[in-house]
Structure 1
Amino acid sequence: MANSQQGNSGKQNFNVRRKDARAIRNDVEREAFDAFETTPPETNGDEARFDSLDLPGFASFTKALSHNSEDGLVDPASFTSLLDAIEAETQAAFEDVQLGGGVRLLANPLNTYSFQLIGNDSNGARMAAAPAFDSRNTAVDMVERYWMALSRDVPFDQYTTSPLIAEACADLNNLGFEQEFGFVCTPDNIFRGPYEGCDVGPHVSQFLLQDFDFGNQPIRQLQRYPQEGLDFMTDFETWLAVNNGDVDPTGDDVLVGTRYIITLRDAGQWVHIDFPHQSSLWATIILLGKAAAISAASPYASGAITTSDAFGSLGGPDITIQSGFAAVYGLKHAWFQKWGVHRRLRPEVYGQRLELFRRGILGQPFDARFNELFGAGADVWQTTTVLERILEHNKAQNVTFNRGDTDGTWLLPMGFPEGSPTHPSYPGGHSAFIAAGATIAKAFFADGVISDPVVPTADGQGLVPFNGPPLTVHGELNKLIANVTLFRDGAGMHWRTDGTTAGNPGTAIATGGNLLGENMAVSMLRDVKVTYREEVGPFQFDSITGAPIQV
């Protein structure tokens, strides 16, 4: 009887297995412990600077807190209550945060302090400080936010002939976009990422275009798209109500049909309601469906194993779930940086600060007070041509949709009715989770040419073959990272530096969630691969920076 209860497992020495499991846990714990950086994170100093100017929270995240109804600046006591809760790190302390209208709530600040048992701990990761509010980099970045907003309805396949896109390129280049972000803007690369493959072929990655089978379900990558020409939060009254949390218009988008992604407005809607693991999961399923070459790190791919196939380890179930794990862990890393360190304001708030001067509430545009607050960026606002465009655009929006401020504003036209989320801007959550998930895909799949590339038809209702330079697996994964990151920028949610690196190639500043997410995924691969019984070789692929990575 005893033997039948034990079955074949009775031959296994579970005491040895128990010790082996503990040894592996100890080894990965030691790696994560050694990687935990204990020096204080670097910040841009904005919080202290504006507190000293008697403008607490002026350049910080304050959405959903209590704000002055006249100028939209945060109530100092409300801001202090948030800082106190962040320092306390407890659920009870966050219950004491003084909100504004109370309809819109803070987005999960306690996730800042979550622990994770795979990969490096979020609180031990470090990244470059966000560019300061008064920097030239932030000002040029904001100019790009404005041009993206104005360009939301220009089809990607018309960029090379669009006068608006040509004007945007000319303005950004005149302001020194290359110096700040590493490349000269052209109609072929504007609003794209700086990584290998991002400027090759269609604007949209193949992993957001190609149809595929999700198990027994055929998935066409058609998506609901918003009404053309409809932007939000272009009048001061609505901006104040949304920022103070008096209203929560989430879900009030006007969606008019389905099509493949052909404009920035379409793209913004994709990243409006996606799940963190969705884009990288789509990529892994598409590659599995294409029978794309698996990394030589796998003994099943290298030919070292010839009598069995990969499945729960190193096969489809494993690869797809690992990208999902990486995405949610990348989100935890982003949340620590957002709430616990940087608390950077969103572009929609920077635009409101400009509007305060246009209205004469804080002073006049380009006066001494303006120059003091905007610093090196002040010259950008005297040079750019985009403010006149934005004033006219918002005037038309407000007249057409019966809003206030029918003479126009300098507010950033938002792609979503609720504007940005109620968590700080830096780094972008999307930028961290897509980089983490796509890095897992780069590790498990060998690079090679993407088969049967496609591009949407002009009306977005179908797909046709793409005839152009070869598109590669890793190049299109890099493009996917940049797409999911910059599509949020196109809706007005983020700064370019929230996601990507800043500066010229070779001297880039390690800003943004893309590098944060990639680094997290590498630490996760380090831990996961030691759990396999197979003899796994090194995962080898290139970083988004171009540097070789081996795990």
Structure 2
Amino acid sequence: MARFSKGLDHDPTTGEVNASQFQLFVDQLKKLNADPGQVAKRGFQLRSKTCDSLRRFVNPQSGWALDTEVTDPCCYVIPEPPDLNSQEEAAEMIELYWMALLRDVPFAQWDDHPLVAAAAEELSTLPLFINRDAPNENPTNAGFEVIPITSKSLFRGGELARFADQTAGISESIGPYLSQFLLHEIPYGTLRIPQRCIHAASGIDYMTEWSEWLHVQDGERRNPNQNLVGQHDPSQRRYLSTMRDLATYVHYDALYEAYLNAALILLGSGYPTNPGNPYGPGCSVMGTGQDQRPHDNEAYLKSADRGSPKYPDQDGFGTFGGPQVLSQVTEVATRALKAVWRQKWTHLRLRPEAYSGLVHRAIVDGVPVPYEAFDIEVERILRASCALDRLTASRGKGRSRHRDHDPSALLPMAFPEGSPTHPSYGAGHATVAGACVTVLKAFFDGTVQFIGPVEATADGQHLVPYQGMDAHSGKMTVELELNKLAANIAIGRNMAGVHWRSDYTQSVLLGQRVAVDMLYRKSATYTEDYCIRFNSFGGKPIEIQAGQVKYAGKKLSLPELKRGECLEPERCNIANELKSII
């Protein structure tokens, strides 16, 4: 279990993967890497035999697919994940235990909930966040950092902002936990879509018994649609109000769904475009040649002093207009997926559910685990965890589908089938989040205040105005809410128990690089004179114009682009230079 092995046979006593099956699995992946085309033509498969009762592995070949508009996925790399036997990995597991314990506590109650306070207190003592001075290094060498956490920063993203500001904590601690883009009504042409969602009934978790856990590790097919509320009765749907709700959202979402919705909300509400848009702050969604935005829109009016457009008698449409951003925010998603899938099937990081099996055998059952997984300090951290203590104590009190059972350190899973049948690192949702949000930040003015912030009531039945002290601080900007959206979607997968925090952190950065790659290549296709600027997830400025990318004021050494030119394969690897973007 030191590497991803879900879908192969596991020993029923130890949970250890069948060695010969795992070796075949690895050997086949090595052959694919050596000669993808020929291996695929010969009938590539990862198990020695097919079986309709087992789940299929998810698309391992896509990481070897070439792309015509971004660098070959093999050129994108992310650092090694934390070692199995490391304090960092143990810290990430403890965060996941807390997420499971708090899965049904409404976000609206976090400020005053004692268990939320307990989670913040324990996680404030653990090395949970990548090193701000070496975010691209192997974490085993660079180490992770401890950041003080409160109920306002618990389980949020935004730790990368410390790369630009050494004194920063969690930058996304402003406003409600959920991004405004997951709450506001979506204008979709003549449709107006309230974001009331199907959700999972509270209190029901899966894979908390060893036999069930083992069957899932072996690849047992399970119905993922159990326990859903509101599938057939719209009156039962609600706004996202708990971590279980968010986990359910990212169980069924189309991968770019949240970002397409965000683009529609920004376009339909008249938010201004990036100051570098050559057609000015307005954006013609319909292509009528006249303003489509409300003339009393506060966000637009605040951008009116940024100068005259370069082409005052023209509007953007297919370029620098609504259709462009609506297509590009979806276009970049599959490019990001190919890049991260290459990493998944190269690193083969095990899923949290598998790690929790090691914890269960070592700490609850007292059985020696394979590979000498836990040294003395790692085992001390796990044994001392308040989260793990509460989890094992709560067994038999209704936290799972089972009522009478022995203590267990198995991670309670939100999904009946547990994690997907592909490795954990990087994360598909997080990479797509980083890519799509980067495209949105490049198109819209991220500095303007988000107008009319709301939050869901504890029961999820209503949206109410957000009344927090920071509501009018000037910091609830479009950029913040877009960054928060990326974190919500990515960390929502952690809330289900299927990903680690470092899966999110490194994958968001990977997606950001893929998006900048795509935007740079497209820069040579426009006739317009433009220069767009926005901030990276690390809080430093990115500037893109025809044939040029600057990061933190420095021009990157990228291959020169000429108008209409398609980069030849030997000139297409710009991924290494983009790695400096945090």
Q: What is the identity, as a one-letter code, of the residue corresponding to 2:223?
A: P
Structure 1 ranges of 4+ moved more than 6 A: none
Residue 486 of structure 1, aligned match among 480, 491, 494 = 491
Cα distance between partner residues in 1 of 2:276 and 2:372: 55
The TM-score, its normalising length taken from structure 2, stands at: 0.78
What CA deviation, in whole Å up to 9, does each residue of 1:179-201 have, x standing for no partner?
83552111111011125651110
1:18 aligns to what?
A: none
Matched, 1:518 2:524: no
Q: In 2, are the aligned partners of 1:431 and 1:514 still within 8 Å (CA)?
A: yes
Q: In the TM superposition, what is the alpha-carbon distance from 1:358 to its structure 2 partner?
A: 3.8
Q: In the TM superposition, what is the alpha-carbon distance from 1:80 to its structure 2 partner?
A: 1.4
What CA deviation, in whole Å up to 9, does each residue of 1:87-135 have, x standing for no partner?
1223345325237964211011111111111122211012211111111
- Distance change in 2, residues 1:190/1:538 (3 Å): same
User: Aligned runs of 1:8-407 on 2, under 5 Å?
Assistant: 58-89=1-32, 90-91=39-40, 92=42, 94-95=44-45, 97-98=47-48, 102-177=53-128, 180-195=144-159, 197-255=171-229, 257-301=236-280, 303-339=309-345, 341-358=346-363, 360=365, 362-363=367-368, 373-374=374-375, 376-397=377-398, 401-402=401-402, 406-407=405-406
Q: In 1, are the aligned partners of 2:108 and 2:456 still within 8 Å (CA)?
A: no
1:417 aligns to what?
A: 416
Which structure features the higher share of helix residues?
Answer: 1
Cα distance between partner residues in 1 of 2:217 and 2:398: 19
2:564 aligns to what?
A: none
- Distance change in 2, residues 1:329/1:393 (3 Å): farther
Q: What is the identity, as a one-letter code, of the residue corresponding to 2:250?
A: V
What CA deviation, in whole Å up to 9, does each residue of 1:218-241 have, x standing for no partner?
111110111111111110111111
What CA deviation, in whole Å up to 9, does each residue of 1:364-409 have, x standing for no partner?
9xxxx897534652231132122221113333348x6347x71121
**Is the partner of 2:69 in helix, strand or coil?**
coil
Q: What is the identity, as a one-letter code, of the residue corresponding to 1:303?
A: P
Q: Which runs of 5+ in 1 are unaligned?
A: 1-57, 501-511
Q: In the TM superposition, what is the alpha-carbon distance from 1:361 to its structure 2 partner?
A: 6.7
1:5 aligns to what?
A: none
- Distance change in 2, residues 1:395/1:66 (3 Å): same
- Distance change in 2, residues 1:181/1:491 (3 Å): farther
Cα distance between partner residues in 1 of 2:398 and 2:23: 36
1:465 aligns to what?
A: 465
What CA deviation, in whole Å up to 9, does each residue of 1:261-290 have, x standing for no partner?
111011111111111111111111111111
Q: Which runs of 5+ in 2 are unaligned?
A: 33-38, 132-143, 162-170, 231-235, 281-307, 545-582
2:455 aligns to what?
A: 455
**Is the partner of 1:387 in helix, strand or coil?**
helix
Matched, 1:440 2:439: yes
Q: In 1, are the aligned partners of 2:3 and 2:349 still within 8 Å (CA)?
A: yes
**Is the partner of 1:223 in helix, strand or coil?**
coil
Matched, 1:547 2:540: yes
- Distance change in 2, residues 1:378/1:328 (3 Å): same
What CA deviation, in whole Å up to 9, does each residue of 1:25-45 have, x standing for no partner?
xxxxxxxxxxxxxxxxxxxxx
**Is the partner of 1:198 in helix, strand or coil?**
helix
Q: How many residues align?
A: 475
Q: In the TM superposition, what is the alpha-carbon distance from 1:70 to its structure 2 partner?
A: 2.6
Q: In the TM superposition, what is the alpha-carbon distance from 1:248 to its structure 2 partner?
A: 2.3
Q: In the TM superposition, what is the alpha-carbon distance from 1:252 to its structure 2 partner?
A: 2.0
Q: What is the identity, as a one-letter code, of the residue corresponding to 2:510?
A: L
**Is the partner of 1:455 in helix, strand or coil?**
strand
**Is the partner of 1:549 in helix, strand or coil?**
strand
Q: In 1, are the aligned partners of 2:25 and 2:47 still within 8 Å (CA)?
A: yes
**Is the partner of 1:95 in helix, strand or coil?**
coil
- Distance change in 2, residues 1:287/1:181 (3 Å): farther
**Is the partner of 2:531 in helix, strand or coil?**
coil
Q: In the TM superposition, what is the alpha-carbon distance from 1:538 to its structure 2 partner?
A: 2.3
Cα distance between partner residues in 2 of 1:96 and 1:335: 16
What CA deviation, in whole Å up to 9, does each residue of 1:235-267 have, x standing for no partner?
011111111012323222332531111110111
Q: In 1, are the aligned partners of 2:127 and 2:146 still within 8 Å (CA)?
A: no
Q: CA RMSD in A?
A: 2.1
2:555 aligns to what?
A: none
Cα distance between partner residues in 1 of 2:49 and 2:18: 10
Q: What is the identity, as a one-letter code, of the residue corresponding to 2:337?
A: L
Cα distance between partner residues in 1 of 2:317 and 2:264: 14
What CA deviation, in whole Å up to 9, does each residue of 1:19-71 have, x standing for no partner?
xxxxxxxxxxxxxxxxxxxxxxxxxxxxxxxxxxxxxxx21111111222332
Q: What is the identity, as a one-letter code, of the residue corresponding to 1:419?
A: G
- Distance change in 2, residues 1:84/1:363 (3 Å): closer
**Is the partner of 2:198 in helix, strand or coil?**
strand
Q: What is the identity, as a one-letter code, of the residue corresponding to 1:473?
A: V
Q: In the TM superposition, what is the alpha-carbon distance from 1:81 to its structure 2 partner?
A: 1.6
Q: In 1, are the aligned partners of 2:78 and 2:510 still within 8 Å (CA)?
A: yes
1:430 aligns to what?
A: 429
Q: In 2, are the aligned partners of 1:425 and 1:494 still within 8 Å (CA)?
A: yes
- Which deviates the most, 372-381 or 385-394? 372-381
What CA deviation, in whole Å up to 9, does each residue of 1:197-225 have, x standing for no partner?
51110100011111021112111111011
- Distance change in 2, residues 1:375/1:548 (3 Å): farther
Identity of aligned residues (%): 35
- Which deviates the most, 272-281 or 66-75? 66-75
Q: What is the identity, as a one-letter code, of the residue corresponding to 2:225?
A: G
Cα distance between partner residues in 1 of 2:526 and 2:128: 46
1:538 aligns to what?
A: 531
The TM-score, its normalising length taken from structure 1, stands at: 0.82
What CA deviation, in whole Å up to 9, does each residue of 1:429-472 have, x standing for no partner?
11100110000000011121112221112321121222323410
